[in-house]
Amino acid sequence: MRKILLSAAGLAMAGVAGAQDKGAAPADPPSYVIGTNIASNLKGQGVEVNLESLIAGLTDVLKGTGSKIPAAQAQEIMTKFQADMQAKQGAKAAESGKKNIEEGKAFLETNGKAEGVKTTTSGLQYSVMKEGTGPRPKATDTVKVHYHGTLLDGKVFDSSVDRGEPATFPLDGVIKGWTEGLQLMTVGSKYKFVLPSELAYGERGAGGDIGPNSVLTFEVELLEIVKSAK
């Protein structure tokens, strides 16, 4: 599990842009920002705390009076707390994964019947948005592409298009759906891919947006074969 509390320096750097003016300015802005970032970090991890006890702990340490709980006992408390958190996160991930399986299966079944959509033996679904005239890459080639990735609810989780900078990578170093899908394309083509979770990130998911067993949609334009394997 990620550390419950970041260092003061890390907290001061994280999420400052998200602060909003909702009233009178605090007497000590840096301390206030540190506080808001501690809260954002805890909230983002789903950690529930007793505010009174949290403030008491901060006060005791910052004023130099020391913790009211002995170090050995504090370690036991944190070990149990972390175990409980991991169990909760595991249960939440399992529930999310089950939901994603059901929604993904329904989406793939419907999408597979849509006009222009083809499905490969692996389960990869694709449709041609624009057909190019260049060569097709091999699995060992390095390619340059523009892409736009979304979840089934339309949320964008990654996009070189939004960043305004194409991505370059070896085809044998990416997720299975990309390795297979890009080999179907000719340079200059733009395809839409729908990847079953087993061709994407599977049960583990990826980052904060791609949950376990997520079906992913990509619009990919193959710009060039940067390096072709011999």
Two tokens, residue 117:
């959509």
Q: Is the pTM of this model over 0.75?
A: no
To the query of whether residue 107 is one of the catalytic residues in this protein, the response is no
Strand partners, 169: 143
- Give which of 184, 221, 210 is closest to 100, Cα–Cα: 210
To the query of whether residue 28 is one of the catalytic residues in this protein, the response is no
- Pure H helices in the chain: 8-13, 29-44, 51-62, 71-111, 160-163, 176-182
To the query of whether residue 77 is one of the catalytic residues in this protein, the response is no
Triad 114, 174, 99: Cα angle to 5°: 50
To the query of whether residue 175 is one of the catalytic residues in this protein, the response is yes
Two tokens, residue 20:
């909003």
pLDDT averaged over 10-residue windows placed end to end, the chain, 230 residues: 39 43 76 89 83 89 88 90 80 75 94 96 97 95 97 95 96 96 97 97 88 95 85
For residue 218, the SS3 value is strand
- Give which of 89, 131, 125, 93 is closest to 110, Cα–Cα: 125
Query: Catalytic pick from 158, 191, 193, 210?
Result: 158
* Residue spans per domain, the chain: 8-68, 119-227
Strand partners, 29: none
Triad 155, 157, 161: Cα angle to 5°: 100
pLDDT of residue 229: 64
- Give which of 106, 227, 117 is closest to 181, Cα–Cα: 117
pLDDT of residue 81: 86
Query: Catalytic pick from 126, 141, 147, 210?
Result: 147
Query: Catalytic pick from 60, 107, 157, 169?
Result: 157
Query: Catalytic pick from 126, 191, 201, 225?
Result: 201
pLDDT of residue 22: 58
99 φ/ψ angles, rounded to the nearest 5 degrees: -65, -40
pLDDT of residue 96: 66
Query: Catalytic pick from 34, 107, 175, 209?
Result: 175
Q: Which class in CATH covers the domain with range 119-227?
A: alpha beta
Say how far apart CA 30 and CA 147 lie, in whole Å: 39
Q: Checking DSSP bridges between strand 142-150 and strand 156-159, what pairing results, if any? A: antiparallel
For residue 107, the SS3 value is helix
For residue 199, the SS3 value is helix
Two tokens, residue 49:
């705390």
